[in-house]
Structure 1
């Protein structure tokens, strides 16, 4: 920290302290640059967290404490601004506020010791859409939305020099079809300057759909990188007159946005604990971890944090490579957990959980995922004995008889939340009971709101009956 103070003291105009709310959106407060001293890191800055979703109005005074390891010069201010991600502590006793998303993930990482692991290593794939315009409105006498982008195949009848991307035909397209390649280059260069490690980027399957895959990091740093990546994408899009969404399903009849997470566990000597002599080079720990993820996804509990929007379940439908059933396999993209077939080095053995999406709060989503895997290891779950596979065939091409043995995840948010209510013991000591209650109430409110709004599809189906 002293090195940080020496580097920036007297050289910045402002300090930007960033925290995430219950949904994972960034909130911030800015301080004059001369406030950068030891007391900022020892005493923090008090604020009212009652509007952030995880603190009661009667007990909402909190202290945000910047994490010096997250410091970066913010590229979106004209004045020199040093930004930090923060942790929250309570004013009453100075202890961490355990409903705060970052603290929840740290708590989940702390549980790894109970299974002989020291670190969880995550590598997320961020899928998103870039549009040139968006409008949406809900009113008493009408409701609707519209998004637009020049490459959209629905614009093929308009006289133009634009290259259109046909339906489900955008994967790894090159310019000029990949018209946003230079924009993504700018995003990745910015992320690199901020210390976010990027593996690669490319056009995805749908019109206007893109992906930036991040390199492996420790769990909390990986979640931090997701938050910063969203921040960079949204701000650069705004500068360019564009708009970015991580909604799981913004376009009808097109591929949706997931946030596949590659992952493995290491011990204190940095040995990969998922490498072994079991199925396709995995260890028995990796298989039990996989079983835990599938088991708690099947109940809906893990989906309640990993796929927490009503829109999540418009993505989780057959026909779009969406992983909707409790299956694991090697290289099979219709499985919820995949063992990447291109990984040949035992030291890089890993699994990929494909169901989770970026509408989640990444700290909660990753914490719940980690708790589910840890529970699988503790319970010595065996995915094959539990009927989770491996299944190497495309699940969507199986016969009705073959599909009878496959169990499918909940198909809506209500069922997922019900699953969380019934299946949450594995989350104990990481997700406080008050947080699960708040989350349940929040999501039930969202469900009630969405279900109360008539949709254009209903008018098409029922108006003239």
Structure 2
């Protein structure tokens, strides 16, 4: 399906030398309705549909939400409204979803103050901490997902012909999903994201569509936008896009790998041709790596934040023969078995996260861990040796929450805009774990019904 990008590109008619208002951006792009969007701590996208006639009110006053009704936002029914204040720089026309539609990412406020439980607020404050050290953070994200249907209560691959034992990169599987993949690619490129590859991943029905890296906040916004676009575009063709980490027991899970790099006034802070460890990295880069490894077990609570996440990282085998998910906090060169992979001297790839991760919290946690390594001048040891930390990553969400609450750096990363967020997050995740644990599963029926 061809995408008409004329409306999406029209926003560029606003002179680059100015800082356009939301009203000007809406008028320039032919927008008639705006989704004023924020996400909860669990990553749920919440929005109100605002007509363009009310765009000035949206920009000046924001739009109100009952925070408790939205989900995990640290509120009770008695609390003041969350007011979503738009970040004008994130304005995104999406006429390929509906003619005249756009979205803008928002920072929730309560009583005129940024709300500490808002993921975007948490990441913004963490980026300020990096700026205090003279650093900016760029992030690239790999979004993996499955295209599925539910038939008679059973989850099945949307493409019923996608059945081979090793489907990764299969040209035939990609071609059968051509219309879906190219529509998503066209949407990403119309938005200026720089989609550069679309492929079939390791599990039957699993795909990945890549776009260029950007600053950490921009990339987190794009992850949320991409999940929305993928879901809506899949639904148009009678499919469901799922970012669930492990929807199938026998298949590879879906990761959300983050490619992290630090920059200063001199450019990238990572490369150093004199590196004696052999990866072409600077001391700053190695300390950043060491910090992430030091806090890896706690970090998993943010980048793998669901019960299902640990079905992915705990998997021992899949139909294809590999799980592609790390079980230990190690680092190395261009080796996908490590928690931190160093594909080149400009970035490190954090491979422990999955499709359920809230991108704002994931980035904030990784940045906080890495910056702690820089402040303390930590050394990760030799690449591939596991000298610094060879502990196994948490086996369950409960273990991850224990590690998170015991880690002062990661709890401070959540509490960076106000106290109580880390405690609230861990509490809700423990409740999630025990809700699952208290539910009798088909596995238990199969194993115990007639066993005694």
TM-score (norm 1): 0.84
The aligned residue for residue 429 of structure 2 is: 443
- Quote how far apart the aligned CAs of 1:79 are: 5.4
The aligned residue for residue 121 of structure 1 is: 138
Aligned pair partner of 2:164 in 141, 163, 166: 166
Aligned pair partner of 1:377 in 374, 378, 394: 374
The aligned residue for residue 414 of structure 1 is: 398
Once residues 34 and 144 of structure 2 are traced to their aligned partners in structure 1, the CA distance between those partners, rounded to angstroms, is: 30
Once residues 260 and 429 of structure 1 are traced to their aligned partners in structure 2, the CA distance between those partners, rounded to angstroms, is: 20
Supply the RMSD in Å over aligned alpha carbons. 2.3
The aligned residue for residue 2 of structure 1 is: 20
* Preserved CA contact (<8 Å) 2:21 2:88: no
Aligned pair partner of 1:95 in 90, 113, 116: 113
Once residues 150 and 98 of structure 1 are traced to their aligned partners in structure 2, the CA distance between those partners, rounded to angstroms, is: 40
Pair 1:290–1:41, CA change in 2 (3 A) = same
Check if 1:390 corresponds to 2:390.
no
The aligned residue for residue 87 of structure 2 is: 67
Once residues 110 and 41 of structure 2 are traced to their aligned partners in structure 1, the CA distance between those partners, rounded to angstroms, is: 16
* Preserved CA contact (<8 Å) 1:328 1:335: yes
1:135-168 CA distance string (max 9 Å, x none): 75xxxxxxxxx2112655xxxxxxxxx4x4323x
Pair 1:171–1:290, CA change in 2 (3 A) = same
Q: Which runs of 5+ in 2 are unaligned?
A: 1-18, 318-322
- Quote how far apart the aligned CAs of 1:13 are: 2.8
* Preserved CA contact (<8 Å) 1:371 1:427: no
- Quote how far apart the aligned CAs of 1:55 are: 3.3
* Preserved CA contact (<8 Å) 2:74 2:424: no
Aligned pair partner of 1:29 in 37, 48, 51: 48
* Preserved CA contact (<8 Å) 1:130 1:243: yes
The aligned residue for residue 239 of structure 1 is: 236
Pair 1:134–1:197, CA change in 2 (3 A) = farther
Once residues 213 and 411 of structure 2 are traced to their aligned partners in structure 1, the CA distance between those partners, rounded to angstroms, is: 24
Q: Secondary structure at the match of 1:51?
A: helix
Check if 1:273 corresponds to 2:269.
yes
The aligned residue for residue 147 of structure 1 is: 155
Once residues 438 and 150 of structure 1 are traced to their aligned partners in structure 2, the CA distance between those partners, rounded to angstroms, is: 37
Q: Secondary structure at the match of 1:2?
A: coil
Aligned pair partner of 2:125 in 88, 107, 119: 107
* Preserved CA contact (<8 Å) 1:301 1:424: no
TM-score (norm 2): 0.87
Once residues 420 and 176 of structure 1 are traced to their aligned partners in structure 2, the CA distance between those partners, rounded to angstroms, is: 40
Once residues 128 and 420 of structure 2 are traced to their aligned partners in structure 1, the CA distance between those partners, rounded to angstroms, is: 20
The aligned residue for residue 330 of structure 1 is: 333
Once residues 71 and 252 of structure 1 are traced to their aligned partners in structure 2, the CA distance between those partners, rounded to angstroms, is: 39
Of stretches 411-420 and 190-199 in structure 1, the one that deviates more from structure 2 is 190-199
* Preserved CA contact (<8 Å) 1:14 1:79: no
- After TM superposition, the structure 1 = structure 2 runs for residues 264-343 of structure 1, keeping only pairs within 5 Å, are 264-269=261-266, 271-276=267-272, 277-278=274-275, 279=277, 280-297=279-296, 300-317=297-314, 318-319=316-317, 320-340=323-343, 343=344
Once residues 283 and 373 of structure 1 are traced to their aligned partners in structure 2, the CA distance between those partners, rounded to angstroms, is: 14
Q: Which runs of 5+ in 1 are unaligned?
A: 137-145, 153-161, 396-402
Instruction: Count how many residue pairs are aligned between Structure 1 and Structure 2.
Output: 418
- Quote how far apart the aligned CAs of 1:51 are: 2.1
* Preserved CA contact (<8 Å) 1:165 1:177: no
Once residues 178 and 355 of structure 1 are traced to their aligned partners in structure 2, the CA distance between those partners, rounded to angstroms, is: 30
Once residues 413 and 169 of structure 2 are traced to their aligned partners in structure 1, the CA distance between those partners, rounded to angstroms, is: 43
Pair 1:135–1:356, CA change in 2 (3 A) = farther
